[in-house]
Amino acid sequence: MAGKLTLSVSQLNEYIRRMLQLDPMLHGVELKGEISNLKFHQTGTIFFTLKDELSSIACVMYASYAAKLQAAPFEGMRAVVSGSVGFYTKGGQLQFYANNLRAEGVGVLYERLMALKAKLAGEGLFAQERKRALPAFPDTIGVVTSPTGAVIHDIMNVSLRRNPDARILLCPVRVQGIGAADEVVQAIELLEKMDSVSVIIVARGGGSMEDLWTFNEEAVVRAVAACSKPVVSAVGHETDVTLCDLAADLRAPTPSAAAECVVPLKSEILSRLSEMRSAIAGAVLWQIERKQTAMDMLSARLSLCHPQRRLQEEARQLAQKREALVRCMEKHMESARRLLEQRRRELEMLSPYRVLARGYAIVTKEGMPVLAASQLAAGDSVVLRFADGIARAQIEETENKEG
C-alpha cells in the first residue's frame, strides 16, 4: 500500500485550479441559465449565480468585460454566458469566469420591455396631454449623446446649416453599456438646471435592441418624463421605438430630424421677427391712438370740471348778479331821487320861507316862533327873518286886536 499524500489546503486548491485550467473542455464554454443573486461591485465587476432547474454555479465578470456589454443584466434574466470554468483557490470555490453575456433570445428583453412599458403607461408617463410644444426661438439646445460618432456631427451640421447662430451644448455620455443609463439621467438633470438651455435632445445612432437598451431603462424614461424642459428623443432609426421616445415631448426618427425640428431656419426667424415687429408697431400705434382719444375725453371732462373753470363761471355769475344789483339799486335810487325831488318841491310849497319871498317875515323869540301878538310884551327882543336875511328888534308896544 502506497504512502498517503499529505497536502495543505492551498496546495490542493492550486492543484484543482491547474487541472481545470488544463482541461480544454472547460474553455470557451457557453452556459444557459437564469441569473440570480446579481451584484454590481463598485470596481465594475459583476457577481451573479447562473442556475437551471437542477443546478447553479457562481459566476464573475470582471470590469474590463462588463464595460463592453450592450445592456446591463437584470435579476431573473435568462441568458447565455460565455467564458471558462475556473477555481477560486482562496475560497476553494468553483466559478465560471464570464467574458460575455447576452439575453437568451430577443423574447427575454422584449418581455421585460413590454412589462415596463405597461407599468409606466399606467402611471401616465406616455400620455399625450403631457406633451409640450417646442420653443419657437430656442436659446441654447442641450444635446445628450456620445461625443464621438456621427450623431453629434449630424446634429451640429444640420443645426448650423439652418441657423449659423444656433447654440449647441453637448453633454457627453456613454449611450450603451453598464452605467450608461446613470450618465444619461445625470446629463438630463444637469441641462435641466441650466437657465440658458431651452430644449434638450437625447440621441444615439441605430442598433439592436440590446444596443438601444439604455434608453429603455426605467431611470432614463422617468428622467425624460420628469424634465421641466421639452425633450426631443432621437434614438436609433425610424423603425426603432424606445420607451424614451414614448416619454419625450417629441420623437424624431433620426438625430438629423431632431435638429430640423428644434432649430428654426434663420430666414424664417427674420421673417417672423419682421412680422412681429410690424404687429407690435401696429398694436402700439393703436394703443397710442386709443389712449390719446381717452386722454382727450378726460381732458374735456377735466376742463368742464376744473376748479378754475368753475371759479370763472362763478365769477361770471357774480358779475351778472352785481350788474343786476347795480341796475336795481340805480333804479331804486332814481325812483327815490324823483320821489325826494317831489317831496322837496312839496315841502318848498309848504315851507314858510317860501312866503317870505312875497314880503312876509317870521318872528321868533328866543328861537321859538311867535304865532300871536299876545306872546310878546314891551321890551322883548325878537328876530325877524326875511327872505334875504334877518333883523333884530325890540318890542316897544303890543296891541291886542280883541281889545
Task: Centre a 10 Å sphere on the Cβ of residue 274 and count the other Cβ atoms it contains.
Answer: 10
- Type of residue at 229: K
Which residue in this structure is represented by grid cell 434663420?
A: 266
CA dihedral 212, 216, 218, 222 (to 10 degrees): 100
Q: Please provide the size of the chain in residues.
A: 403
Residue 364 neighbours by CB under 8 Å, 6+ apart? 370, 382, 383, 385
Residue 261 neighbours by CB under 8 Å, 6+ apart? 134, 232, 250, 252
Separation of first and last alpha carbons in the chain: 225
3 state SS of 48: strand
Share of the chain above pLDDT 90, in %: 36
Task: Centre a 10 Å sphere on the Cβ of residue 267 and count the other Cβ atoms it contains.
Answer: 10
Tell me what the mean pLDDT of segment 173-196 comes to: 92
Angle in degrees, CA 155, 158, 159, rounded to 5: 80
pLDDT (tens digit, 9 = 90+) per residue, 103-143? 876 556 677 888 889 999 999 999 999 999 999 889 999 99
Tell me what the mean pLDDT of segment 75-95 comes to: 88
pLDDT (tens digit, 9 = 90+) per residue, 32-64? 888 888 888 889 899 999 988 888 899 999 999
pLDDT (tens digit, 9 = 90+) per residue, 314-363? 888 888 888 888 888 888 888 888 888 888 887 777 777 777 777 788 88
Burial, 359: exposed, middle or buried (Cβ in 10 Å; 0-12, 13-18, 19+)? exposed
> Quick check: 200 and 144 in contact, CB under 8 A?
yes
pLDDT (tens digit, 9 = 90+) per residue, 206-233? 877 778 889 999 999 999 999 999 999 9
